[in-house]
Chains A and B, each alone.
Chain A
């Protein structure tokens, strides 16, 4: 159980970082990368699986409004100016 949840968390981490790189606006891009990295790093020693699941849900939460998945960065592409 521990091994697979670790893999899932790492997958989520990589996916979120990959998505963050799509922000064309410098400030949002750097913030997203930095915040995601720091948040995952801060919680890296959490052992309790219930707590891990809660943290994973929290990480995924803000992107609920886009039914096509976490493509929220493209919304900002339009506004940031090309």
Chain B
């Protein structure tokens, strides 16, 4: 209560200190007001009235769903026991919450709760799954590992068919389902999946938590990456972080309830985005199979426009030109290269992410800005000028200097 009133006083002091608002609010990095300003001082620092960019990068991470935070808060504030404490109520209630979350995750993918091990994220889960291969190397053992939905171009892999083939050949099948869980229906038994990696922060849950699904029947043996006190059936030692795990469970439950509604809405928004862009701009290519595609991840290549310059021009929208994990390098996406995209088109790709909280207005704004800047950048491009004059770029002999 005191905290909230102190915050209100600081906020009103800031509002009072603000000068005349700029005529048009710009969308840029926002300057954070120093939250630790002493309560209610009139000398609040200057704050620019700017809006933050629109968020269209859901493949990188997603915001917490309010229902998830609501589920987590009691375990951050009141029920803070260690779930492995066996001797008192704090431990028991924390453990009960962990087991409830485990059931929620299992229910989303058609698994048994005993087959879910909590980890720190999909990356750790992937490592556990692949280490299994090294641990059990025999002439007839191997592992197939496939992404369910690709994070760069949104392509859906034929998981059920792959599962059937692996099962018939007695080969273990692992899938990294980070981008797919809670967005498309998954069933580990129908699809004959032996190992599955799940990420919390891709499904509107908290960051720092994930899970690995490990089939029990027939038993899949994995080796622990992290040894210690033997928690999580000895497969992943370390205190299970109850608030994070509760958040993940809640995110899975919400996803199960909202899957159909979200999918329908995201499909409509994706259709709107691609149609509007393709109608107004020539030479735009959508990367990835148009049929086997998750609608919320749209990767477009704009010919004759450099991807990085377009991203910088679209500073009012938070976008990416590929995978966040490889974004530090200037190499074009390995995924685009793998599907045979031309080098120049690979450098021109932008990924638009549409999620549960994306609005129609945000899509329209993004489309408008995108069309405007692509046109502007193309006007400046000598390559575009040559194409307009009818020159075939592939026939040009670029001289060596």
Report chain A residues within 8 Å CB of B55. Answer: 27
Interface of chain A residues 9 through 68 with chain B (CB within 8 A): 26-28, 30-32, 35, 38, 62-63, 65-66
* The 7 nearest A-B residue pairs measured at CB: A27-B357, A62-B67, A82-B11, A31-B357, A30-B359, A62-B70, A65-B74
Given the interface contacts A78-B7, A82-B11, does A32 sit within 8 Å of B33 by beta carbon? no
Interface of chain B residues 38 through 74 with chain A (CB within 8 A): 52, 55, 63, 66-67, 69-71, 73-74
Besides A31-B356, A76-B69, A78-B4, 17 more A-B contacts (Cβ < 8 Å) are: A26-B359, A27-B358, A27-B359, A28-B63, A28-B357, A30-B357, A31-B357, A32-B66, A62-B67, A65-B71, A66-B70, A72-B70, A74-B4, A76-B66, A81-B32, A82-B11, A82-B14
B15: nearest residue on chain A (CB-CB)? A82
Chain A nearest Cβ from B43, distance in angstroms = 17
Judged by a CB distance under 8 angstroms, whether A75 is at the interface is yes
27 sample A-B contacts, Cβ–Cβ < 8 Å, listed by A number: A26-B359, A27-B63, A27-B358, A27-B359, A28-B66, A28-B357, A30-B357, A30-B359, A31-B356, A31-B357, A32-B66, A35-B261, A38-B261, A62-B71, A65-B70, A65-B71, A66-B70, A72-B70, A74-B4, A75-B73, A76-B66, A76-B69, A78-B4, A78-B7, A81-B52, A82-B11, A82-B14
Chain B contact residues, CB within 8 Å of chain A: 4, 7, 11, 14, 30, 32-33, 52, 55, 63, 66-67, 69-71, 73-74, 261, 356-359
Are A72 and B66 in contact (CB-based, < 8 A)?
Answer: yes
A74 CA / B55 CA spacing, docked (Å): 22
Chain A nearest Cβ from B13, distance in angstroms = 11
Report chain B residues within 8 Å CB of A32. Answer: 66
Are A82 and B66 in contact (CB-based, < 8 A)?
Answer: no
Report chain B residues within 8 Å CB of A28. Answer: 63, 66, 357
B12: nearest residue on chain A (CB-CB)? A82
Chain A nearest Cβ from B39, distance in angstroms = 15
